């Protein structure tokens, strides 16, 4: 397993070397990966807040 990981680390710069013109393109809208990242972050925040609400609701002592 360690040999496979080492081989991937050695080969990754060669695989990532794609030609680039050096000119940045104009962005008309966010990329799909940006939207997916935002959706995952929003879900994570909602999930953690709901779990914390449930936890503190359960631990509240009843008089």
How much is the average pLDDT of 2-12? Answer: 73
- Evaluate the CA torsion angle 37, 39, 43, 45 in order and state its sign: positive
pTM: 0.52
**Residues 13-44 pLDDT 10s:** 655 666 777 787 788 888 888 999 999 999 99
More confident residue, 61 or 48: 48
Rg of the chain, C-alpha, whole Å: 23
Q: What pLDDT sits at residue 27? A: 82
- Kindly state the tokens that stand for 25: 């393109």
- Kindly state the tokens that stand for 6: 């080492």
Say how far residue 63 (Cα) sits from the centre of its chain: 44
Please determine, for residue 11, whether its predicted confidence score (pLDDT) is greater than 80: no
């Amino acid at each position: 397993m360690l040999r496979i990981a080492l081989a991937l680390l050695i080969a990754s710069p060669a695989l990532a070397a794609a030609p680039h013109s050096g000119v940045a393109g104009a962005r008309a809208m966010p990329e799909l990966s940006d939207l997916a990242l935002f959706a995952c972050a929003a879900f994570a925040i909602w999930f953690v807040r709901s779990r914390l609400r449930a936890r503190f609701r359960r631990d509240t002592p009843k008089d």
